Amino acid sequence: MGSTGPGAVGPYELLVRLATGGMAEVFIARRAGESAGTGGSALDGASGGEPNGADGGEPDGACAGELDGADGGEPDGAGGGALDGEPLVAVKRIRADLRSEAGYAAMLFDEARIASRIASPHFVPVLDFGLDAGGAPYIVMELVVGVTLKHLTRPPDTLDVGDALDLIAQAAEGLHAAHEARDSSGELLQVIHRDMSPSNILVGVDGRARICDLGLAYALRRTTRTKTGTVKGKLSYLSPEQAHARPLDRRSDVFSLGVVAWEVVAGRRLFVGSSMLSILHAVLEREVPPLSSEREGVGAEVSAVVARALERDRDARWPTAADFAQALRAAADREGHAPSRGRVGARVDAILPEPLKPLAPSSGPGGPRATPAIIAALRSMHAAGVTGEADESGVLASRRPARG
């Protein structure tokens, strides 16, 4: 029986579109067998090629922003062939209108090569990449059934303090793994994420945080380069050195994650403004209130740990994201902030969009599993054009009603 999904790329049958935005579109997919198309490229680590200067403009990150879902286009897909119970995956490919731009393809493959070198349960893994039958590039990622930290903490919702601190510590551990990534010869890749924000931290129904989106990341062997003086990342989460367009190291990401930590505990934004200049001024100059003054029950120790991550002098910050994670866990423990991943997972599950809830029970290590019922449900969603909101990583996010 033929597929009723939106097509195929390489050996992957596309089942339903999750998002279109920035430079890419993302689909839930399954591996459909060798006959489904051209094979993907084996992941072989960071390329040592010469930089080509392609900057690719300012595409949104792999899971940044709030993107609309499926467009309900006509299915043209390839047949099945995958064994029931295999993991569903997220397939990300360059949007059709951008596929002639060589810079975008280079950025996507750079993202795949860098991510393939990061081994952490708190970083979304890239599983494969290649060119489809038409020569369009794609990458394949683990499908995370969950929501972004941004969705999970939309005001007036706040997380339990222990849960918030645990999620940030997990994200810091994933960030440290990225900073420590090495190429096949053992050389440090010097990865800097450059776009740490609540949109780029996924929280699954397992209560686990995962960092995603290396679309703006710097790495020593990256073939695409940012133009000198170009500021990358979301303004409210820039480090002071990013705001000044100065050379960066891993401590820039520590600052950005410190902003996220402050916000998810305090329940409000930290650096805001009515214009780009006013936001940058806030990043560089505005006093950061201690968390103990923002949230009842938060003590001096947790406040001090987050405050150190937010030092504008990077020499005064935590030297590594691992140090930040360790200090955060220790301070939370001493103040009695006990986390519960079950509680977090239940909250994530509660805000998944209703049509995609069937994926949650089959979600485990390696992502949700393909079953006949789930495949049929995803194909039906494609036919109906119903997917809810989504981020380009493949995270499934809820469409909430507007408040008052």
Q: Which amino acids are annotated catalytic?
A: 195
Report residue 292: phi and psi, to 5°.
Answer: -65, -20
Cα separation, 173 vs 257, in Å, equals 11
Alpha carbons within 13 angstroms on the beta-carbon side of residue 86 total 15
102 close to 54: Cβ distance less than 8 angstroms: yes
Q: Return the C-alpha torsion angle 386, 389, 392, 397, nearest 10.
A: -110
DSSP characters over 244-302 = TT----HHHHHHHHHHHHHHHHHTS-SS--SSHHHHHHHHHH-----GGGTSTT--HHH
∠ CA 381-382-388, nearest 5°, is 60
Please report where in the chains the tokens 């405050």 appear, as a residue: 307
87 close to 196: Cβ distance less than 8 angstroms: no
